[in-house]
Amino acid sequence: MRVLIIGSLAGELGQAARMAMARGARIDQADTVESGVARLRADARTDVVLCDIAHDIGALVRALATERISVPVVACGVGGDAQAAVRAMRDGAREFLPLPPDADLIAAILEAASGDSHALVVQDPAMLAAIRRAEQVATAEASVLISGESGTGKEVMARHIHRRSRRAAGPFVALNCAAIPENLLESELFGHEKGAFSGAVARRVGKFEAADGGTLLLDEVSEMDVRLQAKLLRALQEREIDRLGGSAPVRVNVRILATTNRDLAAEVARGSFREDLYFRLNVVTLRIPPLRERPGDIPEIAIYFAKKYAELNGIPFRPISARAHAMLAVHRWRGNVRELENIVHRAVLLADGEEIGTEAIELAPEEGARTQDAPIGGNPPGFVGRRMDEVERDLIIGTLGHTLGNRTHAAIILGISIRALRNKLHEYTAQGVRVPPPAGVAAAAA
């Protein structure tokens, strides 16, 4: 995790920096928005920006958008200054971090920015077999295609491969192809030269160059546009990339790991994924079994998250009761490990007593199930007489509340892509609708 702080480290922002470092983050610092943007151009490994509200948050967000730099911005300021917080969010900040900083909130923001937890918790033979296969190819230079349903832990496995590889001392750079708008993805991957497009005021280094000597993870590579797939294929074949607007290729030494939650062979047959790129990425295939196929992992992972979120929320750890474990064991886990994490997190907060019992376990209804109030063959209560867009909005916001703000898990439940969900949330925010913050931040702030 790499964090860029824009502002002075002499006061409370410096305290936030030390808390982030204690959580394993690497800190860069810039005194001004201009120098901060310059650092982001030069190093594509930054995961999140913490910017003092004494600086122009809107100018920073606009500069990043103009130069096609995709990185979340968190505004930081005195907690009591509510107007400044609202202003920063309206200017485009992803979150607001009140100062003086709280260590748990810092941890939640860093985790939300980095995505999945990177702990590898394994007990089931099916997952142990997948790990053995991963370790067998880890020291090679071959590309690895990691497939599996959303929420199974594909990025966790990719990081494990990197740690066991000969490139472990080099950088591990991850790019979520589904989360970056198409007009930004090319610049994120390959960088650009000054004047490459309107707003490109200086050279910007992309993810390929940032990962030089290490590993580049292309997360959900199936979401990449076919046109961009051709440029990616050339980079893999020639081991060189072309920056946007560049006059000469740039040599790179990168090992590629890619993940997908789709059947790429079927995508090739449909014409939405290049066959030559598929074969280039698919030197070794590693399938991560869904959680329902590795039931032996469920109790171990549940205990891990129970300890994690008890510590994060300042709550004494309470064991999970035998009946609650049994309840978890028979669930279908459409959202896999990510769904289990959200449910255990909620249970840690709701449990009352010396252990986490069944009353604190709130499971999503299984596919095909219906609630007592929903009549068969009729209209669900509360839907009649309402506009379709209103029903859709309430369904999306309600699902986000159920997943504690986890966008990926909500998209899985809703049956839409993460990109479609993000577009809807941007629309709602522009309309003044309160959208639940990303997973981790809401719970820590509560």
Among the candidates 289, 305, 339, a domain finishes at: 289
141 plus 195 within the same structural domain? yes
Boundary-marking domain end, from 92, 114, 136: 114
Residue 364 has pLDDT above 80, yes or no: no
Token pair recorded at residue 300: 């171990």
Domain-located, residue 380:
yes
Do 401 and 421 fall within a single domain?
yes
Residue 155 in any domain: the answer is yes
- Whole-prediction pTM: 0.67
Alpha carbon distance 34, 71 (integer Å): 15
Q: Does position 436 have pLDDT exceeding 50, yes or no?
A: yes
Torsion sign over Cα 227, 410, 1, 170: negative
Residue 255 sits in the same domain as residue 397? no
Lowest-pLDDT range, 9-13, 240-244, 379-383?
A: 379-383
What is the per-residue pLDDT for 441?
43
User: What pLDDT was estimated at residue 439?
Assistant: 52
Asked if 345 and 422 sit in the same domain, the reply is yes
SS3 call for 286: strand
Say which amino acid occupies 400. L
Per the structure, the complete domain to which residue 377 belongs is given by 294-445
DSSP 141-202: ---EEEE--TTS-HHHHHHHHHHTSTTTTS-EEEEETTTS-HHHHHHHHH-B-TTSSTT--S
On the question of pLDDT at 85 being above 60, the answer is: yes
66/140 same-domain check: no
Cβ atoms 154, 170 nearer than 8 A: no
Write out the two tokens for 93: 């900040």
Q: Do 253 and 267 have their domain in common?
A: yes
Label residue 437 by pLDDT band (50, 70, 90): confident
d(CA 290, CA 265): 19
CA dist 309 and 253 (Å) reads 39
Kindly state whether residues 285 and 314 are assigned to the same domain.
no
Tell me, yes or no, whether 212 and 83 share the same domain.
no
Q: How confident is the model at residue 369 (pLDDT cuts 50, 70, 90)?
A: very low
Structural domain ending residue among the three candidates 265, 289, 313? 289
Task: Count how many domains the chain has.
Answer: 3
Answer yes or no: is 235 within a domain: yes
Note whether 63 and 95 are same-domain residues.
yes
Distance CA 281, CA 344 (A): 35
Do 347 and 229 sit in the same domain of this protein? no
| 224 close to 235: Cβ distance less than 8 angstroms | no
pLDDT band at 385 (very low <50, low <70, confident <90, very high): low
pLDDT for residue 126 is more than 90:
yes
Q: What is the CATH number of the domain that holds 268?
A: 3.40.50.300
Whether 113 shows a pLDDT value over 70: the answer reads: no
pLDDT at 13: 86
Same domain flag for 163 and 259 = yes
Residues 104 and 179 in one domain: no
Residue 357 has pLDDT above 60, yes or no: yes
Q: What's the alpha-carbon Rg for the chain, to the nearest Å?
A: 22
According to the model, what pLDDT value does residue 346 have?
Answer: 92
